[in-house]
Amino acid sequence: MTHSFVLHIPDTELEPEPLAAEQIVSGTPEVTGKVVWESEDGRQVRGVWQITPGVVTDTEADELFVVISGSATIEVEGGPTLTVGPGDMAVLREGDRTTWTVHETLRKAYAINL
């Protein structure tokens, strides 16, 4: 999108974004998402992301997100453990190695800088 816009996040249709098998620690989590804006140089991305219950690992980008629904505990290796739920804003630093324990399907709106 190249213009200003509004998006009702709870109703946004998302597309499958399969996890790599090595990221799944337990359960059968499924990820879906949608990029709603990307800068011309690809270094800034805005979107909606969702994950079903389970435990997964990730290496983070520079990200700010707001949880729309659901809940999770995010353990940052060598750092804090974050508990997030609806209305919470969180910041993850580029390179953070994380373990996400998703308690109930989590949907977030995010802004990533690459």
Q: How far apart are CA 83 and CA 101, in angstroms?
A: 10
Q: What mean pLDDT, rounded, does the chain reach? A: 96
DSSP-derived letter for residue 40 is T
Q: What percent of the chain has pLDDT over 90?
A: 96
Structure pTM? 0.95
pLDDT in tens, 45-100: 999 999 999 999 999 999 999 999 999 999 999 999 999 999 999 999 999 999 99
Rounded CA Rg of the chain: 14
pLDDT at 103: 98
pLDDT at 2: 64
Q: What is the pLDDT of residue 53?
A: 98
Phi, psi for residue 22 in degrees, rounded to 5: -70, -15
Between residues 78 and 1, the one the model is more confident about: 78
Q: How far is 30 from 51, CA to CA, in rounded Å?
A: 6
